[in-house]
Structure 1
């Protein structure tokens, strides 16, 4: 079923961890809240899920686990959320710094410096993203640091601790992505029209799989001396799959905001590139829409499981583009309204703005917490807010 027309939007609020730049009016009431989400620096005590790990990875679309939220699944969502948070706390946000838009830590020290040293994972690959937008030379000279085309966006980490592998029931590979930070990444976000995936033909419905133009540009663009994000992901995952081909594997891609969109594109690309890949799951925090309904069907056919964690007060999860309920259009009793709706639907489709929400949704709401400022768009979108909502969510019938 397609949803009713609800909004037009393409601009996303700031997608960075507000722990680095907190709202001054919110500091006193949020300090204890943010401190709750420092990953445990001592030995982790996550639940044993080896007998049902495929269920927690979404093999059955998390049926019966989301409402009420299963405590083991909650623990796994928070665990992956900490992997994403590490991308923010490791990123150099200072445009005047010589290391701007790079990682502040070495591959060997990042996880330990971010409180994840006892999670049993080893970081194997840093990932960078390159913007496909070319700015005029004079702007580039004037704002050289701010207009950097390539920047560090995340990493690949592999579970290597035997006890953790036993607890999980398989060897887990994590790919974690941060959200939007640089000026050119913001400009890519604004390229909200849909574009066809390379190498795909039009489907039976007359429309082939399409994704947001800016997200695809970020995933596939490369610099003269630097590989694209797509090439880096393919190379590393190919190496890992070949190395651990004889044991149970899972591939978990997780990200916040822009990172959630790139996680979905990466998951699709991995499943399309490698024959018989491991089980691929996406844990998405505050992600925008990525593609059309045909793209969603492609993901489903390839067995990719996507859990969209959504704050109903977060604007980013409602953009870009439009959602249309074609069933309502077809069943409308008012002839004039029906004709108008069909014309509008066709117009939106021709404008390449007809998006679809993809994956299974865990819907949360910051309205349940009176000390969260509903008017602060950035706060509603913040990763720390999402972790807080996940930690405290019971069910839709019980706040």
Structure 2
């Protein structure tokens, strides 16, 4: 489901739908081959996520960044499932501005993610390129002027309200840049939306650079409803790149 974001992204600058998804929501899983696997008749895509990458040297550029899917009634009521699953999947870097944002290594405060219930002297800092220039940025010149964060949280709240009488779990996944957004959004969801004891947020982060400092790590790890599985290939340099810079854990 993470790979589906790469397979579905239209990177052709000459295409009329360049920077968008190649497929309509109803066909995404079948067009990338997931209809033969776990997603067959079990999940439907309910939201496309658009994110704006930006740099102080260039204009903002808004592109398709992933999707939100939810399990079907058939899957949620099956004997081997018995819960409603929500999946958030993030795409990895694919254009110049996104690569530039990957290199914005300085740390920025992440109080917005951890909400208002924090002490004034607590400092949770994360990679500024991932947080400020992609996850939180808004592009008023785009039809999708809400930040990626707002789009995802708004959709999850809507799904929570729709299935309020059911047990709900959330899985967030992505690769590389998508993995950093996976970590940020999973922490955000667990901290600010899912406060029910029987609701679990699970992140599957593939080849993720380090996202934040030790305070971010400790605080995220202490959230009782959050689990993060970080998957790396042994010889991949990207997951080991950001620790070379001061402050990352």
- Counterparts in 2 of 1:38-77, with a 5 A limit? none
Does 2:120 correspond to 1:215?
Answer: no
SS of the residue corresponding to residue 34 of structure 2 reads coil
RMSD: 2.1
Distance (whole Å) between structure 1 residues aligned to residue 53 and residue 167 of structure 2: 35
Residue number in structure 1 paired with 2:90: 177
Distance (whole Å) between structure 2 residues aligned to residue 116 and residue 161 of structure 1: 18
Does 2:174 correspond to 1:255?
Answer: yes
Residue number in structure 1 paired with 2:209: 288
Deviations 1:208-266 (A, max 9, x none): 21100000021000111421101101110000111111111110000000001001111
Does 2:200 correspond to 1:279?
Answer: yes
Deviations 1:25-59 (A, max 9, x none): xxxxxxxxxxxxxxxxxxxxxxxxxxxxxxxxxxx
Go from structure 1 to structure 2 and tell me whether the alpha carbon gap of 1:243 and 1:161 turns closer, same or farther (over 3 Å shift): closer
Determine which structure has more spread, i.e. the larger CA radius of gyration.
1
- Tell me how many residue pairs correspond in the alignment: 233
The one of 226, 238, 241 aligned to 2:157: 238
- C-alpha deviation, 1:185, in angstroms: 0.5
- C-alpha deviation, 1:161, in angstroms: 4.4
Residue number in structure 2 paired with 1:151: 63
**TM-score w.r.t. structure 2 length?**
0.86
Residue number in structure 2 paired with 1:298: 219
Does 2:54 correspond to 1:132?
Answer: yes
**TM-score w.r.t. structure 1 length?**
0.55
- C-alpha deviation, 1:98, in angstroms: 2.4
1 or 2, which has the higher helix percentage? 1
Residue number in structure 1 paired with 2:6: 88
**5+ long unaligned stretches in structure 1:** 1-82, 141-147, 323-347, 357-399
Counterpart contact for 1:101–1:182, Cα < 8 Å: no
Distance (whole Å) between structure 1 residues aligned to residue 66 and residue 195 of structure 2: 25
Residue number in structure 2 paired with 1:15: none
Go from structure 1 to structure 2 and tell me whether the alpha carbon gap of 1:163 and 1:156 turns closer, same or farther (over 3 Å shift): closer
SS of the residue corresponding to residue 311 of structure 1 reads coil
- C-alpha deviation, 1:169, in angstroms: 3.2
1 or 2, which has the higher strand percentage? 2
- C-alpha deviation, 1:116, in angstroms: 2.1
SS of the residue corresponding to residue 232 of structure 2 reads strand
- C-alpha deviation, 1:101, in angstroms: 1.2
Distance (whole Å) between structure 2 residues aligned to residue 319 and residue 153 of structure 1: 23
Moved more, 172-181 or 107-116: 107-116
Higher relative contact order (CA 8 A, sep 6+): 1
Counterpart contact for 2:111–2:124, Cα < 8 Å: no
- Counterparts in 2 of 1:1-399, with a 5 A limit? 83-117=1-35, 118-136=40-58, 149-163=61-75, 165-166=77-78, 167-199=80-112, 208-217=123-132, 218-224=134-140, 225=142, 226-274=145-193, 276-277=195-196, 278-303=199-224, 304-322=226-244, 353-356=246-249
Go from structure 1 to structure 2 and tell me whether the alpha carbon gap of 1:163 and 1:240 turns closer, same or farther (over 3 Å shift): closer
SS of the residue corresponding to residue 94 of structure 2 reads coil
Distance (whole Å) between structure 2 residues aligned to residue 119 and residue 180 of structure 1: 29
- C-alpha deviation, 1:134, in angstroms: 4.1
**5+ long unaligned stretches in structure 2:** none
Distance (whole Å) between structure 2 residues aligned to residue 297 and residue 108 of structure 1: 39
- C-alpha deviation, 1:294, in angstroms: 0.8
Counterpart contact for 1:179–1:258, Cα < 8 Å: yes
Deviations 1:264-283 (A, max 9, x none): 11111112322525310001
